[in-house]
């Protein structure tokens, strides 16, 4: 009885698999080369001054960043000094809404810490979405440890949502963050927005106030912890303008707000 002929195995699946692997490797290589090129540009970004009038009588200065600043040379940021001013802390955008994670968060978080910066992470709040679910997005993305800044909720737009509903969702998000991290979150907002839409409902939260072109302090009646005083600062290692901030206190006060 004749033996049945063996079916020839198709090489097509192997060829497709090889092409997929090669394409993935090519994409990864392009990504690495692009990142290296961006880092080289960042390392070459050098400024003789910050390019803005820095507020007087503050000893602790910092910046806040997101993917808008692209790749950052954090050692350059940390080593820049003009007169007696250096950048010692940074707030880094981590998440937005229900699912978005800032594409530079992981790199910024690791590299800023390695450069010796005190780091904090913030969530950009969307008033159209659940506050609890937005907190979950941040919590699953950000691990905070001893010496880090507390979590920050950035609230600056209504997106057409009734103010009362926006406040309810903000409170849900803050409560969830506080329950998980065991520390009261910092609330960031522009002074005008805070006064009009947040106000007394949130006066017991530490405030990071945004108010530009003021010479001495933000014009707000309640107490504040951080002040974002300008959005056009030049800092070594960053090719774009960046937000500059000061802390309202001395080094002992600053250590006292860090994660235990």
| Whether the predicted pLDDT of 91 surpasses 70 | yes
What pLDDT shows up at residue 22? 53
Supply the pLDDT for residue 7: 57
User: What is the domain extent for residue 247?
Assistant: 47-257
Instruction: State how many domains the chain has.
Output: 2
Look at residue 157 and tell me if it is in a domain.
Answer: yes
Query: Is 156 in the active site?
Result: yes
Residues 114 and 30 in one domain: no
64 is catalytic: yes
Determine, yes or no, domain membership for 3: no
Q: How confident is the model at residue 37 (pLDDT cuts 50, 70, 90)?
A: confident
Give a yes or no: residue 161 inside a domain.
Answer: yes
Do residues 123 and 210 both lie within one domain?
A: yes
Question: Considering the domain boundaries, does residue 6 fall inside one?
Answer: no
pLDDT at 38: 83
| Domain identity same for 31 and 119 | no
One domain, residues 210 and 123: yes
| Spatial separation of the C-alpha atoms in residues 230 and 53, rounded to whole Å | 9
Q: What is the average pLDDT across 98-108?
A: 98
Above 80 in pLDDT, residue 194? yes
Indicate which residue of 156, 172, 178, 214 is catalytic: 156
pLDDT number for residue 213: 86
Q: Per-residue pLDDT tens for 224-248?
A: 999 999 999 999 999 999 999 999 9
pLDDT at 239: 97
CATH number reported for the structural domain that contains residue 109 in this entry: 3.20.20.80
Residue 2 predicted with pLDDT over 60:
no
Lowest-confidence segment of 11-15, 95-99, 114-118, 191-195 by average pLDDT: 11-15
- Considering the domain architecture, whether residues 39 and 54 belong to the same structural domain is answered as no
pLDDT-based confidence at 14, cuts 50/70/90? low
Q: What value does the mean pLDDT of the chain take?
A: 92
């Amino acid at each position: 009885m004749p033996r049945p002929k063996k079916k020839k195995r198709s090489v097509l699946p192997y060829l497709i698999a090889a092409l997929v692997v090669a394409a993935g490797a090519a994409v990864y290589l392009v990504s690495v080369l692009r990142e290296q090129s961006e880092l080289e540009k960042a390392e070459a970004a050098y400024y003789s001054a910050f390019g803005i009038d820095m507020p007087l009588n503050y000893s602790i200065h910092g910046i806040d960043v997101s993917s808008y600043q692209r790749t950052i040379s954090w050692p350059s940021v940390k080593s820049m000094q003009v007169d007696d001013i250096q950048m010692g802390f940074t707030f880094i955008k981590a998440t937005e809404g229900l699912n978005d994670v800032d594409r530079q968060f992981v790199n910024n978080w690791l590299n800023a810490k390695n450069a010796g910066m005190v780091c904090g992470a913030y969530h950009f709040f969307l008033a159209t979405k659940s506050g609890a679910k937005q907190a979950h997005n941040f919590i699953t993305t950000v691990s905070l440890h001893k010496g880090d800044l507390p979590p920050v909720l950035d609230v600056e737009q209504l997106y057409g949502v009734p103010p009362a509903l926006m406040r309810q969702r903000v409170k849900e998000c803050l409560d969830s963050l506080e329950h998980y991290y065991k520390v009261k979150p910092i609330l960031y907002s522009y002074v005008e927005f805070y006064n009009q839409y947040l106000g007394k409902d949130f006066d017991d939260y530490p405030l990071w106030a945004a108010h530009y072109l003021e010479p001495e302090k933000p014009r707000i009646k309640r107490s504040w912890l951080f002040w974002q005083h300008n959005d056009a600062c030049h800092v070594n290692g960053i090719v774009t303008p960046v937000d500059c901030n000061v802390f309202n206190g001395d080094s002992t006060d600053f250590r006292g707000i860090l994660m235990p």
